[in-house]
Structure 1
Amino acid sequence: MKLEMIGDIHLGMALNRKKADFDFNVKKRYPVISVSNIEEEGYFNNKGFEYFPSTELLSKKYFTEEGEVLMRLTHPNTAVYISKKQEDLLVPSYFVKIKITDKNYLPEYVAWYLNSEETKRELQKVQSGTRVTSTSKKVLETLVIKELSIEKQKRIVDLVELHQKEKTLYEKLIKEKEKQLAAATAEIMAD
């Protein structure tokens, strides 16, 4: 089924229109999502969020809500599920927010599907731009999301979550091994 049929898609806010140039013009500072907060595999990293100095109070429609999917409009078009921890973050215009309204689709499954190689290849065919390729909202609306039973979607989501946990543990292990190697070689050199 087409993405526009299973969810509402909204562009993020053009930040330069509301950015305060001077501190005395700042009405409020909002935490904002940037490309550096999201890993290409489709999950949030531990980097802190930047703060956007706004000249006015902004509409809630530009902020993340738990259960939504956020997708980057430029390459590599990474999609990420918004959990409770990522609520109330300002969404800039190089992302779209997708609120899944069809109960036959899990938002986590949709995020995974949007990150699949098949979907990425499909998006590459229709992207515009020469230096920085971009995907339009219209293109996203026409993307077909394969319908599976909720049970199968849950199995996929569970596998993806397990894979991400394992990957994080492997990365921590590698960092620890590098520290051990550095300490061992330093000790040998000191002898």
Structure 2
Amino acid sequence: MANDAFSISATLSGISEIRAGHPFRGSVPEVVNGSVSVIQIKDVDWAGSVKWEGLTKTRLEGRKEPDWIKSGDILFVARGTKIVAAYVDEVPVPCVCSQYFYLLRIKSERVLPEFVAWQINQHPAQTYLVKSAEGSAQVSVRRSMLEDLSIVIPPINQQRIIVELAKTASREREIFEALIINREQELRVIAKKLLEPTVAER
């Protein structure tokens, strides 16, 4: 680690345990009454949020205890069209992540996992990961590249401030997006009332 008066710089592997997702063989087998939910790439959006309501249910085989997703974990999408980290705040159901994720667990109490997830999703880290990734349209990030990612760690109070700012920005984005959707729906209703009679007369 290198440090100055304000921050510490470390590799991602230096501050976290990095594990592979659950080793499913191919696609996740769906079991309607399965006791385990699986987080797949489709369940994480571009903002790094997990869409819990759409998880596939399955049944896990084998005697080895799986790496259950826990509160405070970071899920890193390692393959596909989006390279994004998702911070897990609460886990509403017993679940694992698929083989296309890396599961990150922060080892130090001086590092907030939500801050690390935020930093991974910012331009400097994204630039490094995209350049290091294999493939073009469907990229793949090797574990060694993720391990070597440089993370800047400011004092924990500053981490908290940044996390709160990011949460505020996310809430504001959701509000604006909802307003846009509502306005578009209003315009569709107006267009239907105004234009459909005209079209029918032709």
Fold in common (TM above 0.5): yes
Higher strand share: 2
Taking the TM superposition and a 5 Å limit, the aligned residue runs for 1:87-102 are 88-102=94-108
Higher helix share goes to which structure? 1
Give, as a single letter, the amino acid of the residue that structure 1 aligns with 2:16. G
Matched residues in 1 for 2:51 and 2:174: separation?
10
1:6 Cα deviation from its structure 2 partner: 0.8
When normalised by structure 2's length, the TM-score is: 0.81
Alignment of 1:156-175 (within 5 A): 156-175=162-181
Q: Is the 8 A contact 1:3 1:145 kept in 2?
A: yes
Aligned residue identity for 2:55: F
Q: Does 1:12 align with 2:18?
A: no
Query: Distance in 2 between the 1:19 and 1:114 partners?
Result: 27
- Match in the other structure for 1:80: 86
User: Is the partner of 1:145 in helix, strand or coil?
Assistant: strand
Aligned-pair identity in percent equals 22
Q: Per-residue deviation at 1:142?
A: 1.3
Structure 1 window deviating more from structure 2 (84-93 vs 32-41): it is 84-93
Conserved 8 A contact 1:18-1:55: no
Q: TM-score, normalised by structure 1?
A: 0.85
Give 1:132 deviation, angstroms: 2.8
* Residue in 1 that maps onto 2:73: 68
Closer/same/farther in 2, CA of residues 50 and 111 from structure 1, 3 Å limit? same
- What 5-or-longer segments of structure 1 have no aligned partner? none
How well do the aligned residues superpose, as a CA RMSD in angstroms?
A: 2.7
SS of alignment partner, residue 64 of structure 1 = coil
Q: CA deviation at 1:52?
A: 2.5
Q: Give me the whole-angstrom Cα distance separating, in 2, the residues matched to 1:59 and 1:9.
A: 17
Residues of 2 paired with 1:104 and 1:10: CA distance?
21
Provide the residue aligned with 2:127 in structure 1: 121
Distance 1:108 1:13 in 2: 22
Structure 1 residue 89, shift from structure 2 partner: 1.9
Aligned mates of 1:29, 1:79 — CA distance in 2: 26
What's 1:54 paired with? 60
Q: Which entry has the higher C-alpha Rg, 1 or 2?
A: 2
